[in-house]
Amino acid sequence: MNFVIANTFTESLTKLAAPEQKRAKQAAFEFQIDPRAPGFRFHRVDGSRDVRFWSARVDADLRLIIHKDDDNFLLCYVGHHDDAYSWAERRKIAVHPRTGAAQIVILREVEEQVPIWPASPAAPKVQAIFSDQSDDLLLDFGVPQEWLDVVRSVDQEGLIGLIDKLPEEAMERLITLAAGEVPAATKEPTETPSNPFQHPDAQRRFRVLNDQEELRRALEFPWEKWLVFLHPDQKKIVERRYGGPARVSGSAGTGKTVVALHRVTHLVKANPAARILLSSYSKTLSRQIGQKLHLLLGPEVPRNVEVSNLHRLAYDQYLKLRGLKGVNIASDTYITNAIDEARRFCDCMDLSVSFLASEWTAIIESWSIQDWDAYRSVSRVGRGVQLGLKQKQRVWRIFEFVRHRLRDRKHVTFGDLFAEVGRAAEGRPERLFDHVIVDEAQDMGVAELRFVRAITRPGENDLFLAGDIGQRIFQPGASWKSLGIDVRGRSHRLRVNYRTSQQIRQFAEAILPDLLTDADGETEERKTISVFEGPHPTVRGASTAEEESAVIADWLRSLVKEGVQPGEIALFARSKTLLKRAERAAKAAGVEWRELTDDATEGGSVLALGTMHRAKGLEFKAVAVVGCDSGALPHPAALKTTADEAERQSIVEQEQHLLYVACTRARDRLLITYTGEPTVFLTASDPARTEPHFTKNRRQ
């Protein structure tokens, strides 16, 4: 007898209060050990059309819904008594007659009325988008037999209404077809799995569990749906053999991190002795993915798997290489002060500190330039300010002064660490790692990319990079191909969004251009499908910052009144100064809050407040993005740091991406607020496309 868990169970579990979740999990563990234990009072759900639905008692009110046949116990749902029984009465578990995949099918005869064209002889006819599609094609897409007439009759608006009613694979293919593309139909495989729960389509919503440890991992965290139930497209990427560097991209919420984590576990199983690095650009994100890796590999991650952010790894390796116990890292402020001192010493006061600091970061630091010959020959493609030979000589005199100051005072930069450790790794018979998996790879610059390439043994399955150029928020993009990381023919894009509602996704995507281009000139079209619906985002303007705080406070009160827990809500702003508006709102609403730091992420019991940069990698049911004023985004301080027009444009793009990142942290509810006039990033979006609710809250 197999024990199987459905994604509908994990979804229903997260809707319960914390004490109820604990009791439900314990009951699931005990049921897996002994389904016949008398305390469960195991009996059929009498009102269900599917006679294989059974109820198991958790306590006086909570019930587990189990689907039982000769071969499987399927854990389907948990809820309060009437809710749980209602769920079972409206569904059946069936094997699709064409694809052979197990599906959870909502019964048409007991489902709420779905508009069917034409509704009545007098009703106006709508444009049915699938009216000319055959039964065979729709069945090949995984549409249940009893839903064929509805699918063939819906218009564009009606199609969105089917999102929560059809199996995921059918809905994804229908939306793809409606967008003008021809999706791949999934007919029954040549070698039919003996268990319909093992079909590729079924594996996105069902998982056969071998023991209690697997069940524990599946129920551990709110994002278990992503971690446990891989989409077939994700599974192919995870298990593929690559002849060189590979990339997986996708908009926010498409599961890139999950693919990266599963890639690690796949490589561990394929070669237990391989040296593997799992990394990210920031230490906060590296810590988060390290915690999530425990869900897949268990409490003890193998010793040959290292989880570290790139800067920490370079620092530790540098100390080991030099035999040091510590080293002084020159901060940005330290470098800026040194540049300003060098201008005076070299009598070059006509060269601005902002330009020189920008040149240092983009050229000297990125390429670890140590002498005049290297600076003279380095490519400055992409720099808006062009320099002739004599101008470059003047600039180098300043940087040479800074280099001497660093050496004299025993300071180093991270660019120097990356370069020196990378050179040492390339000179060894064996590199530091056989496989390197990097999440949020879009934020890596030249120094980080050269470092990653240098420490990884070239060859099969060497580099696996996950990222989204639409979420590049820390530094300008760099050409991967020019640095020896060529992913042509080994690049994949995920298109199914699991985290963000259709309405929030559309709103957020409208903040960015339809086409984005990376540093190698490759463009990507941001076509994504969300698998669930929610309320439209709300954009609210106010006359004063105090009035804006009052708007946010009202929003917080309404969420709490609806039953949303404070720990499921976050407020983000571009700067700490703007975040004070959110603090005032939390105090006015009487909601306890905490500030997000390097050591604080989602999952707490109180409201989370943080800057937009802190939002990366997090997820909340409801998010408010505060202070989206025209004078705050793009952030003036960021623009003042450069006199280079090309870099200025890059910074504007990063600021645009930052707003996109903050908005896509929301799963169900999104509020955008501003004082005065809104940022151009909002006014540039197309209201007809996003359909946001724009309202004003101005005093007359």
Residue 156 or residue 500, greater confidence:
500
Indicate if the pLDDT at residue 179 is higher than 80.
no
- Distance between CA atoms of 484 and 457, rounded to whole angstroms? 12
CATH (domain of 621) = 3.40.50.300
pLDDT band at 117 (very low <50, low <70, confident <90, very high): very low
In a shared domain, residues 570 and 547:
yes
DSSP per-residue codes, 567-610: GGEEEEESSHHHHHHHHHHHHHHT--EEE--TT--S--SSEEEE
In a shared domain, residues 13 and 93:
yes
Highest mean pLDDT: which range of 126-135, 375-384, 567-576, 630-639: 567-576
Residue 399 or residue 644, greater confidence:
399
Indicate if the pLDDT at residue 601 is higher than 70.
no
- Distance between CA atoms of 8 and 103, rounded to whole angstroms? 11
In a shared domain, residues 198 and 90:
yes
In a shared domain, residues 173 and 198:
no
Residues 586, 498, 526, CA angle at the centre, nearest 5°? 100
Residues spanned by the domain of 23: 1-101+189-219
- Distance between CA atoms of 603 and 14, rounded to whole angstroms? 12
Domain-embedded: residue 252: yes
Q: What is the mean pLDDT of residues 137-145?
A: 91
Instruction: Name the percent of the chain lying above pLDDT 70.
Output: 88
In a shared domain, residues 195 and 180:
no
pLDDT for 85: 96
CATH (domain of 203) = 3.30.2310.20
Strand pairing report for 529-530 and 62-68: unpaired
- The domain total for the chain is 5
pLDDT for 692: 40
Indicate if the pLDDT at residue 689 is higher than 60.
no
In a shared domain, residues 147 and 276:
no
pTM confidence score: 0.79
pLDDT band at 338 (very low <50, low <70, confident <90, very high): very high
In a shared domain, residues 265 and 119:
no
In a shared domain, residues 544 and 648:
yes
In a shared domain, residues 366 and 480:
no
Indicate if the pLDDT at residue 448 is higher than 80.
yes
Out of 146-150, 153-157, 565-569, pick the least confident: 153-157
In a shared domain, residues 582 and 470:
no
Q: What is the mean pLDDT of residues 121-138?
A: 75
Indicate if the pLDDT at residue 256 is higher than 60.
yes
Residue 65 or residue 216, greater confidence:
65
Domain-embedded: residue 277: yes
Q: What is the mean pLDDT of residues 527-541?
A: 87
Domain-embedded: residue 168: yes
Other beta carbons less than 10 A from residue 444's beta carbon: 27
pLDDT for 218: 64
pLDDT band at 600 (very low <50, low <70, confident <90, very high): low
Domain-embedded: residue 424: no
- Distance between CA atoms of 272 and 657, rounded to whole angstroms? 39
What Å distances lie between residue 326 and 282, 310, 476, 612, 634, CA to CA?
20, 17, 30, 32, 37
In a shared domain, residues 282 and 367:
no
Q: What is the mean pLDDT of residues 534-547?
A: 94
Per-residue tokens: 246: 């590979």
In a shared domain, residues 597 and 642:
yes
Q: What is the mean pLDDT of residues 32-43?
A: 88
Residue 697 or residue 388, greater confidence:
388
pLDDT tens string 224-250: 555 666 777 888 899 999 999 999 999
Other beta carbons less than 10 A from residue 60's beta carbon: 6
